[in-house]
Amino acid sequence: MLAMGLNTINNGLSFYLDQDFDHSHFLFFLQAQLDRLILFLAQIMDYLSGMIDSIRNK
């Protein structure tokens, strides 16, 4: 759910990035950080699911 919410915010930012105003650099930075956080959460979920599968298969 957290990743879906972050993805929604990230997609919403893309609308404002098309506009030209003073805070566009901050929005680019924010979108890059959200992309990194989504990637990190996906890696954590892969790790946790692998750990759970390993426990189940023993």
Which pLDDT tens digits describe the chain residue by residue (58 residues)? 666 777 777 777 776 666 666 667 777 888 889 889 889 999 999 999 999 999 998 7
Q: What is the pLDDT of residue 5?
A: 77
State both tokens at 28: 């680019």
Residue linked to tokens 């950080």: 33
Contacts with 7 (C-beta within 8 Å, 6 or more apart), sequence order: 38
d(CA 47, CA 42): 9
